[in-house]
Structure 1
Amino acid sequence: MLQWFYLHGLASGPKSRKAQLLGAFLQERGQTLHRIDFNDGGFSHLTVSRQIRQVSARIAQEERVVLIGSSLGGLTAAWVAQESLMVERLVLLAPAFGFPDCWLTAGELEEWRRLGDRLIYHYGQGRSLPLRYHFVEDARTWLPHRLTRPVPTTIIHGRQDEVIPIQSSRDYAKTRSWVELIEVDSDHALGQLHPRVWQEVIGERRQ
């Protein structure tokens, strides 16, 4: 049986608005959305590597998996699918390709390195929390050009995205025939999407 997993973004959580919308949308169709919490293990020492290990361990016993990843969760999903053959489809919502260098200026990143940590507003907890600079060093090792496994992929990205430039998704899709990019009039939060987009997420238009 096909299992659906949602991977939230940085400083978010499994109860985010997108997670709840997708969960309800799938529930109406008799499906369950499993939501992975990347805050387990502490936010301050979070890394992309830790997220990849967490997801890989969670889906290890499954046979057929769809990963829906938002922002940093999208980058994580892509890397899990690179190694996990049970992942048969990806849905990436404004995936964080090129993160965090596309997010902060060189000066801001240097200040983060010098201080050792940076306060990040955590939407899931409603307060700012420190994140160690090792997060940056680790994230830079997960380069999108190394993602080569042809997993059917739908990317949904807002043209007004102020965090992850849509060009990163355009570049990614341009060199991979198995990737479909859907551009929408929205920002990074993808807060107001037409129901057609959610139908695309679960593949209803293909059926």
Structure 2
Amino acid sequence: MSSEFIYLHGFASSPNSAKANYLRDRFNQIQIPLTIPDLNQSDFTHLTMTRQLHQVRTIFPPSPTPVTLIGSSFGGLTSAWLGETELQCQKLVLLAPAFTFLSLWLSALGEKTVKSWHTEGFLPVYHYGEKRSLPLSYDFVTDLKQYSETDIKRQIPTLIIHGINDGVIPIQASRNFAASRPWIKLIELDSDHSLANVFPEIWQEISTFCQLSNF
């Protein structure tokens, strides 16, 4: 049974990101549908991991059709959690996945800003899809604290591609995640968080890992 492919964009991004458009075009060329949901749901302000997980579950094909998830950054973290909980997920491709995202971001914001966010309830966040700042509820933080990456243990074939010069999610986060999970293949490329200079290499790795020539 052929797998269905779903791409999950990153935090404060959109289905029209450079990476999403590139992969959409590549899948179109080989006549394989690639579903790319808008994880903002026209309400970025109330985004949470829980909401995102629920949204993606609702677009899964009927069981037992297998699903391959391709996730970028926060979409990669979301994909990892779906791979843990949804048996239909048979393969994962994680592009610069946002492991340790919350601790990294809160540390970068600083204690004063985080405290103000908690007190006021909202934080202005630049949204790359909208090209403007939008308020994000502190519920995003409260919700994400429920998700401990140590609980991701399902042995599902997983490909991680991460740039060695990533200044947003350091590659060490993926190295640490893969180190205790031997079923994960980690590929390190000379790139940053966007992976924009290595799109052809990413496509080659996805094609091989997902055996797209067999479709």
TM-score greater than 0.5 by the shorter chain: yes
Q: Give deviations 1:113-146, integer Å, cap 9, x for gaps.
A: 2332111111111110000111011112111110
- CA separation of 1:160 and 1:89: change in aligned 2, threshold 3 A: same
Partner of 1:144: 149
Q: Contact 1:13 / 1:39 at 8 angstroms: preserved in 2? A: yes
CA-CA distance at 1:199 after TM superposition: 1.3
Aligned residue pair count: 207
1:77 match: 79
Whether 1:10 aligns to 2:15 is no
Read off the aligned partner of 1:12 and give its amino acid letter: S
Q: Could you say what secondary structure the match of 2:105 adopts?
A: coil
Q: Aligned to 2:97, which of 78, 95, 100? A: 95
What 5-or-longer segments of structure 2 have no aligned partner? none
Matches within 5 A, 1:40-189: 40=41, 42-61=43-62, 63-105=65-107, 106-107=110-111, 108-189=113-194
For 1:6 and 1:95, the matched residues in 2 are separated by 13
Cα RMSD over matched residues? 1.7
Kindly indicate which of the two structures has a greater share of residues assigned to helix: 2
5+ residue gaps, structure 1, are none
How far apart are the structure 2 equivalents of 1:128 and 1:74? 23
State how far apart, in whole Å, the 2-side matches of 1:40 and 1:96 are: 20
Distance in structure 2 (CA, Å) of the matches to 1:138 and 1:205: 32
SS in 2 for 1:52: helix
Q: For residues 201 and 193 of structure 2, what CA distance do their matches in structure 1 show?
A: 18
User: TM-score by structure 1 length?
Assistant: 0.94
